[in-house]
Amino acid sequence: MQSQITRSASRRALVAGSVGNFIEWYEFGVYGFLATVIAANFFRLEGESEITSLILTYAAFALAFFCRPLGAILFGRIGDRIGRKPTLIAVLIMMTLATAAIGLMPTYATLGVAAPLLLTLLRMLQGLFAGGEFGGAVALMTEFAPRGKRGSYGAWQSFTVALGLLAGAGVVALLGMLLTSEQLHSWGWRVPFLLALPMGLVALWLRLQLDETPSFKQTQQHRQPAPLSGVVKAIALGIGRMMGWSAAGYTFLVVMPSWLQTALHASFQQALVATVLGNIGFALTILPAGRLSDRYGRRRIMLLAIGAVIIFTFPLLAILQQPEASLWWKAAAVMLAGAVVGLLAGPGPAMLAEMFPTRVRYTGLGLAYSLSNAVFSGCAGLIITALIKQTGNINIPAWYVVIISLISLLAILTLRPDDHLRDLES
């Protein structure tokens, strides 16, 4: 199959597949980084505390993630039937419009209780459309990948997640420096969401240049139904292999800013700097981890990564909690936290793609990814913030990550050492 794929077609697929993920995670990062501002504008109900409004903000965040599996099923089935290209174009357009609409939303002070309800609805629509993005993008990249480079190509999906989160943090940090707190709360928070429009236009142009994958074309000529029991089993196993990545990734890279502000009383700017450093560490290890998984296997690299998450989580958070620890130590801790997540995120997309045949790959890997993220990423902020409020224990983020990662370790152990050497199943 690889002999039918030209280098230019592979590169177009890599860029066009990555750009949608960049926009998706830019927006989700912006929402996480602006959680305290959004809470004040939409969820600050009369008589309720600041942490309660933050919990409501994360509840809307979680609902968006729980719409992702629906999007994965809906758009995954379309993508497996009519093709990756038209489905990814449709998903991109709808995702961009929903994001821009958030930037135009009236706040609680204007609409009252209708404002948080409408914002939550838009978040749910975003989740629905984003649910159709990952499966199609990873299917596209890995099906176009040259022989022996699925890990490297799939890693670009995760790398553009890091770039999207960094871009979101950078835009929010820039606004924090240029605007007063009053300006940021009154109108400045809208700017990052409205920027999705020009980004979406660029991504749309890139996706219009795409070809359909040779794997999909071949499958269309010889369509055979995939056994349902096998697909369900693969999805469940994929969730198990993903859950440590999901929990650690969102805890360290998105939830951390609000946790630093509410639990450790850091300033908004300090929390954003920590997030930027974490995402830099994340970005630095993704592509090397993907390449190493092509050489040494997904199993070996992902076991190393999940072991690092389990071993280092408590020490890293302990450093952040110590007032006497130097800024250099805290910066190194945050970057290392991101780096160990990157070791999981590098081989992760290719690992999922290799679990499903072409005829159900869009649906299967998208559903495994979205269900794992719905439960273990989307709920991370809600669970951690609520448990800290109830118990007063600021070590809750570490317990959350380690317990879930221990379970994920068992699922990763079931990977075959030679999965990276096999051709994708048709």
Reference 299, options 251, 339, 354; nearest CA is 354
**Tally of CB atoms within 10 A around 236:** 12
Confidence bin at 188 (pLDDT 50/70/90): very high
Greatest CA separation for the chain = 66
Q: For 211-267, how does the pLDDT look when each residue is reduced to its tens digit (9 = 90+)?
A: 888 888 887 766 666 677 788 999 999 999 999 999 998 888 766 656 666 656 666
State in Å, rounded, how far the first CA of the chain is from the last one. 10
Map out the domains of the chain as residue ranges: 2-212+226-421
Mean pLDDT of 301-328: 86
Backbone angles phi, psi at 416, to 5 degrees: -80, 140
pTM, two decimal places: 0.84
The CATH architecture one would assign to domain 2-212+226-421 is: Up-down Bundle (1.20)
Query: Where does the pLDDT of residue 318 fall: very low under 50, low under 70, confident under 90, or very high at 90 and above?
Result: confident
Each residue of 23-60: pLDDT tens digit? 988 887 788 778 778 878 887 666 555 666 667 776 77
3-state DSSP assignment of residue 324: coil
